[in-house]
Structure formats: C-alpha cells, structure tokens
C-alpha cells in the first residue's frame, strides 16, 4: 500500500509577494550601484529554497546565498544555475563537490582556504572564494589579527590560479537597531580589512548588508547586498516605517467540525476556558505538532469566516478550538492561522511578539510532516 500523506494544514507561499519584495530590495540596491544576493538558507527560511530562488532571480536578484554546501548542491540539483555562495563549513564538508558544482565558498580561515584550494587543484580548476572578516559579530569569519596572513595566502593562491578572490565580506550584529554604534564600528573594521586585501594585491568586491542594512543603510550597500528576511516579506526594522514588504507565507487549515456548547461547558485539556453563554465552537485539526505553539493557548486568534476569532482552551498536539459565538461557521471553512495580515488577520510577526521571539524563527519552523507547502501566484514554480 502506498503511504498516504497526512494533510492537516498548508503553507501557501505567495510567489508574487516574494517577487514584489525582491524587486523592491533589488531596486534599493541598484540605486546604490549594488547587485542583490538573496539568502535562501534553511530551505528559503521555510518557504522552499528552489521556489524562492526562482522567484528571486526573476525579480532582480543576481545571485543566491546559503549556509551549508548541501543546501547549495540541492539548489544545483533543482536546476538553479545562478551564482551561489555558501559560507558555513563543517568538518567533512565536500569542497570537491562544491567546486565541481561551481558553488562559491566563504572562507573564514587559512585551513578552509587550504582545503578549498586543494579541492580546486585536484580538479585543475579555480575555486571562487569570498574572504570573510569577523568585524565584531564573533561567529564565523576571520579574526582581524589573522586577516593579514589570510589575505597574503589568498593572494598567493590566486596568483597560482587555484582560487579567485571574488569578495571580502562580513555580517552585521545589530543592523536592526537603528543607529546602534556597533554598525559604524563594524563598517570601520570592514573598511580596514578591505584595504588590507587590496594592499595584498587583491581586487575584491565587498558585501556586508543584510535586510535591515539594505533598508536603512544605503552607505553600506557596496557592490552587493545580502538580504534574507525582507525577501520573505517580514520587516526587520518596522520602527523605520512601512517598507512595502508583503509576507509570502500563509499558514492555513480548515474547520473539520463545529458544535454548540452550553454555558458552563469547558474546552480542551485542563479545562482552562469555560463558555459563559451558549456558543458555537469550531475544531481545527492542527496543534503543536504542526507548529502552533502550545504556549499561545488562550493568547492567539485565527481568521475564520470573515473575522478574527479567539482560540480557546489549550492548543493540543493535533487540534485546537475556536470560539465562533453564534456565527454560521461550517466544516470545510478556511482558517488562516497567520498570513499577510490583510484586514487585520494574524501575522507571523504577531506570533513572534506574543512568544518573545523573532518572525524569522516562526517561519523557518513551520514546514513539518503533516503540513503541505504550496506555491501560488502568477509565477508559481
């Protein structure tokens, strides 16, 4: 017997929204003379990396970025031929496969440079690398004290024809906090590192700006920008005003059962909610196993039958209950748990706010075994 998929909810990915967002970001970059690399790591922030990649490239992005080599190779297997950068390497990562697939590689250390150069040499080819300077985020990237040696080695490897140094790059820690002093401090360190690379005989481009910096710091666009979250329509700097981004992910389910309950009847485990008058309840077959956090019990609304309605009682593993008062709600009605927020419907940003986290974490965690994902829109792929 073939395995039947269990459909409890769907993530609808609006490709037109993705294209709108990328076009808007690419236009801002273009005004600074910069190209746009859209970051599609972690399966396109949960939206589907290949879908996002195609939408981004058709809307003005020139290249794509991912964290892991495996993510880059999957995009190549999906037919994405655009320039692709990958930057977070782990022991045992297959640089040979990356070089063979023309994946450009971030380099944070001489050891990485050495391993990548060896892979290129073995293939009698040239690996394209982006040297990453740690300007203050203190994650990956080369510490400033090791940078002069790294750029010297890279220049030698470039002269030998085994690597081509495409770029010097870094990543910002606090770009979403407008005016945070670390932004200029990182930019100054970045400039110093770039000058050292040039002094070593390299002629790289520069990239530093994530979404927040694309939107608020045109002076840091350089030759290439690297937005992620804004391409998905989630604003990292809402305090800066409306940037015209449209959330691309809608999390939907359907009502499977409705029932009337009398005043005094309680709902779900622990009986944390009791009807104070007769009302209609709608049962929705999604729960914490499907990405609805149990800690939102009694603290979330859904959009159902034309308005926001509260989830009552505890969110369970597989189901939740919506209070519908006396309204005509029926099995089969669509339920939007979060989406683009039209007419005041819930958004991923609203979930994040209630949960004390960021919308990045919400959308990247939504694609799960019982949840389907469907790309829609004029350019759906």
Ligand X SMILES: Cc1ncc(COP(=O)(O)O)c(C=O)c1O
Q: What residues are labeled active site?
A: 41, 269
Instruction: Determine if residue 317 is labeled as part of a ligand binding site.
Output: yes
**36 DSSP β-pair partners:** 225
Query: Minimum Å distance from CB 187 to ligand X?
Result: 15
Q: Is 1 annotated as a binding residue?
A: no
User: Which region holds residue 173: left if phi is over 0, alpha if psi is between -120 and 50, else beta?
Assistant: alpha
Residue whose C-alpha is closest to residue 84's, from 110, 105, 111, 56: 105
Q: How far is the CB of 301 from ligand X (least distance, A)?
A: 27
Site residues (CB under 6 A) for ligand X, limited to 200-219: 210-211
Judged by CB under 6 A, which of 39, 116, 187, 220 binds ligand X?
Answer: 39
Q: Which stretch binds ligand X (CB under 6 A): 96-104, 197-205, 228-236, 301-309?
A: 228-236
> Taking CB under 6 A as the rule, which mask of x and - marks residues 308-337 in contact with ligand X?
------------------------------
Among 44, 48, 141, 228, binds ligand X (CB under 6 A): 228
Q: How many residues of this chain interact with ligand X, rule: CB under 6 A?
A: 11
User: Quick check: 129 and 116 in contact, CB under 8 A?
Assistant: yes
Q: Which two tokens stand for residue 49?
A: 């990396």
Return the residue of 128, 226, 314, 323 that touches ligand X, per CB under 6 A.
226
Minimum CB separation of residue 327 from ligand X in Å reads 39
DSSP 317-380: SS-EEEE-TT----TT-EEEEEBS-GGG--BHHHHHHHHTS-HHHHHHT---TTEEEEEESTT-
**CA 124 remoteness from chain centre:** 35
Task: Name the nearest CA neighbour of 192 among 235, 252, 244, 134.
Answer: 134
8 A C-beta contact, residue 122 and residue 96: yes
Dist. CA 173–CA 235, nearest whole Å: 16
- Judged by CB under 6 A, the stretch of 183-191, 225-233, 245-253, 258-266 that binds ligand X is 225-233
230 or 284, CB closer to ligand X? 230
Give the Cα separation of 304 and 302 in Å (integer): 6
**Given the DSSP bridges, would you call strands 279-284 and 320-323 parallel, antiparallel or unpaired?**
antiparallel
Q: Which residue has the tokens 């910069």?
A: 34
Instruction: Please identify, using beta-carbon distances, which residue of 236 and 346 lies nearer to ligand X.
Output: 236
Least distance CB 109 / ligand X (angstroms): 16
Residue 171 in the binding site for ligand X (CB under 6 A): yes
> Binding of ligand X at residue 220 (CB under 6 A)?
no
Site string for ligand X, 72-111 (x = CB under 6 A): ---------------x------------------------
Residue from 9, 229, 321, 362 touching ligand X (CB under 6 A): that is 229
Closer residue to ligand X, CB minimum distance, 312 or 349: 349
Looking at the Cβ atoms of 128 and 171, the one nearer to ligand X is 171
Place of tokens 């999604």: 286
**Sheet containing 301-304, strands listed edge to edge, beginning at the edge strand earlier in sequence:** 257-261, 279-284, 320-323, 307-312, 301-304, 334-338, 249-254, 9-14, 371-376
Residue 227 interacting with ligand X (CB under 6 A): yes
Position of minimal CB gap to ligand X? 228
| Nearer to ligand X (CB atom), residue 189 or residue 294 | 189
CB of residue 208 to ligand X, shortest distance in Å: 9
Contact residues for 191 (Cβ-Cβ < 8 A; gap 6+): none
Per DSSP, the three-state class of 133 is strand
Q: Is 44 in the site for ligand X (CB under 6 A)?
A: no
Query: Can you give 36-74 as a three-state secondary structure string?
Result: EEEECHHHHHCCCHHHHHHHHHHCCCCEEEECCHHHHHH
Q: Where is the binding site for substrate, in residues?
A: 139, 317
Q: Where is the binding site, in residues?
A: 139, 317
* Sites of contact with ligand X (CB under 6 A): 39, 87, 171, 210-211, 226-230, 236
């Amino acid at each position: 017997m073939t395995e039947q998929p269990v459909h409890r909810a769907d993530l609808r990915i609006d490709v037109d929204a993705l294209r709108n967002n990328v076009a808007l970001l690419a236009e801002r970059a273009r005004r600074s003379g910069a190209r746009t690399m859209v970051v599609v790591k972690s399966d396109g922030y949960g939206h589907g990396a290949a879908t996002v990649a195609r939408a981004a490239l058709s809307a003005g992005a020139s290249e794509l970025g991912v964290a892991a080599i495996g993510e880059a190779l999957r995009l190549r297997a999906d037919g994405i031929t655009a320039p692709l950068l990958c930057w977070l390497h782990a022991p045992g990562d297959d640089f040979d496969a990356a070089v063979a697939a023309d994946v450009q590689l971030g380099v944070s250390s001489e050891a990485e440079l050495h391993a990548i150069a060896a892979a290129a040499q073995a293939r009698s080819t040239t690996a394209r690398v982006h040297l990453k300077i740690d300007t203050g985020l203190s994650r990956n990237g080369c510490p400033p004290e090791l940078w002069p040696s790294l750029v010297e080695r890279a220049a030698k490897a470039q002269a030998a024809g085994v690597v081509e140094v495409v770029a010097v790059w870094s990543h910002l820690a606090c770009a979403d906090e407008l005016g945070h002093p670390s932004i200029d401090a990182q930019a100054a360190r970045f400039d110093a590192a770039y000058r050292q690379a040039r002094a070593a005989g390299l002629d790289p481009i520069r990239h530093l700006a994530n979404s927040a910096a694309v939107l608020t710091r045109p002076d840091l666009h350089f030759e290439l920008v690297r937005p992620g979250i804004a391409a998905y329509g989630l604003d990292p700097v809402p305090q800066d005003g409306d940037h015209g981004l449209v959330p691309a992910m809608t999390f939907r389910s359907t009502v499977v059962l409705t029932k009337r309950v009398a005043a005094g009847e309680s709902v779900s485990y622990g009986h944390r909610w009791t009807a104070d008058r007769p009302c209609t309840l709608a049962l929705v077959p999604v729960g914490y196993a499907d990405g609805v956090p149990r800690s939102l019990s009694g603290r979330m609304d859904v959009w159902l039958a034309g308005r926001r309605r509260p989830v009552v009682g505890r969110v369970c593993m597989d189901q939740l209950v919506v209070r519908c008062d006396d309204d005509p709600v029926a099995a089969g009605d669509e339920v939007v748990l979060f989406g683009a927020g039209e007419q005041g419907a819930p958004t991923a940003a609203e979930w994040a706010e209630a949960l004390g986290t960021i919308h990045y974490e919400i959308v990247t965690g939504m694609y799960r075994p019982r949840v389907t994902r469907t790309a829609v829109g004029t350019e759906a792929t």
